[in-house]
Amino acid sequence: MSINQYKGNFFDTFGMLRDIRQEGKVWHDLIDVLFIIVSAAFCKIDEIEGIYIWANADINKEWLKKYVYLRNGIPSISTFRRVLNAIDPKQFEKCFIAWTKEMTVFSEEGGDIVAIDGKTMRGSRDGEKITHIVSAWCNVNNLVLGQVKTNEKSNEITAIPDLLDLLYLEGCIITIDAMGCQTKIVEKILKKKADYVISLKGNQETLHNEVIAYYEDLKEDIADIEQGKKAGIEYAKTMDKGHGRIEERRYYYSTDIDWMVDAKKDWKGLSGIGMVYRKITQKDKVTEETQYFIGSIRNINDFKKAVRGHWGIESVHWSLDVTFKDDANKTRKDYAPENLAVAKRIVLNMVRNEKELYPKLSANMKRLTASLDVEYRTKVFDLNFKSKLQ
């Protein structure tokens, strides 16, 4: 998958959102307020009160007029809050997916990794409820492809199929952690004409134990497997070094699973089972872990790519926490937390899409630069948007 210059129009795509505010009392177009929210978020503003202060600065007010009319000036804090609560999150998510789709092109040969994982926005707690977002992320171009909200982490099981329904995934390899290891999710992936690599844990105890036992029985044959002398089982190894840390990974993938009669009946498309041994050495501390997987893929290269690609989604979570302060955000009520999360993911995609002007800057530094350098900000927005005034 590669990134093209944006081919659509932010105002057309997100302008489809329905405005439920009372007609006759609306001073500011919904899309204009949303544009200001996204613009402020791109400039390191992560709270609603900060959006209002940022937009009222003379230099930012003049800049905003390049894109929106501002006939009635800058909206109030309460207007920003009302808009975030007025937007239908499901509509907003669909618009976000449509907008992101315009920025991405799948590889002709297929095999792009799309990792699906959940993230809890800890600062969003409202009474007993806390916002939990399930996102799909493409590792080739570091873009969030889409997201859906669920009130509990355990509800990822129902949220994942909803997210899959929204995305175009033909030819991709979908990776999910153990919570998503469900037969209905596997069937949904195959219906999308995609493949899967899914982690195993205790929630599928029988299958998990079968795969563990299989690899335990192969311990005496490890040397032969690593030398490519055992049919049906492939091996690969990677080593990453940096910042005083050495991470060694050994991948094993077996398509010799005719013995798994019941599992192949239950798990559509199952063609292999995998094991990854991971050893991390940092100073005098050594950490080891072994993880097991099921997959519909047929070779070690796809397995290795899928497993490594899924670990990469942690960088997205880290960026949302550290750069966008997701966990610290105190926006709590109604639809606002979920909609603000979508706005931040719009900005995250914009930041990662910008690879020409400051390709080596971190997301945090790009946002800081945008807050100080109007020319840089304009170039990035012109890359991703077209002005409403054109």
Residue 19 pLDDT: 85
Strand partners, 286: 281
Long-range residue pairs from 276-279, CB within 8 A, at least 24 positions apart, any chain: 276/249, 276/250, 276/251, 276/252, 276/307, 277/249, 277/250, 277/252, 278/247, 278/248, 278/249, 278/250, 279/247, 279/248, 279/249
Residue 376 pLDDT: 94
Does the pLDDT at position 388 exceed 70?
no
Rg (CA), the chain: 23
Please tell me the distance from the alpha carbon of residue 384 to that of residue 379, in angstroms, as a whole number. 9
304 and 376: one domain? no
The secondary structure of residue 141, as a DSSP letter, is T
Instruction: Judge residue 223's burial from the number of C-beta atoms within 10 Å of its C-beta, 0-12 exposed, 13-18 middle, 19 or more buried.
Output: exposed
Among 92-96, 107-111, 254-258, 343-347, which stretch is predicted with the lowest mean pLDDT?
Answer: 107-111
Q: What is the pLDDT of residues 208-242, one digit of tens each?
A: 999 999 999 999 999 999 999 898 999 999 998 88
pTM comes to: 0.83
Among 74-83, 88-97, 108-117, 120-129, which stretch is predicted with the lowest mean pLDDT?
Answer: 120-129
What are the two backbone dihedrals, phi and then psi, of residue 121, each rounded to the nearest 5 degrees?
-90, 90
313 close to 293: Cβ distance less than 8 angstroms: no
The secondary structure of residue 76, as a DSSP letter, is P
Q: What DSSP assignment string belongs to 268-302?
A: TT--EEEEEEEEEEETTEEEEEEEEEEES--SHHH
Residue 382 pLDDT: 85
In a domain, 101, yes or no: no
339-365: average pLDDT: 87
In a domain, 154, yes or no: yes
Strand partners, 277: 250, 290
In a domain, 110, yes or no: yes
Residue 121 pLDDT: 63
Does the pLDDT at position 10 exceed 60?
yes
The secondary structure of residue 136, as a DSSP letter, is E
Q: How many residues does the chain have?
A: 390
Does the pLDDT at position 189 exceed 50?
yes
Please tell me the distance from the alpha carbon of residue 376 to that of residue 43, in angstroms, as a whole number. 11
Strand partners, 175: 115, 197
162 and 38: one domain? no
Hey, what are 11's tokens? 């105002």
34 and 79: one domain? yes
Among 43-52, 173-182, 380-389, which stretch is predicted with the lowest mean pLDDT?
Answer: 380-389
134 and 275: one domain? yes
Among 131-145, 220-234, 336-350, which stretch is predicted with the lowest mean pLDDT?
Answer: 131-145
In a domain, 161, yes or no: yes
Please count the structural domains in the chain. Answer: 2
Structural domain boundaries enclosing 266 = 106-319
In a domain, 47, yes or no: yes
**Position 154 confidence tier, pLDDT thresholds 50, 70, 90:** low
**Kind and range of the H or E run holding 341:** helix 336-353
Hey, what are 343's tokens? 């706005």
In a domain, 389, yes or no: no
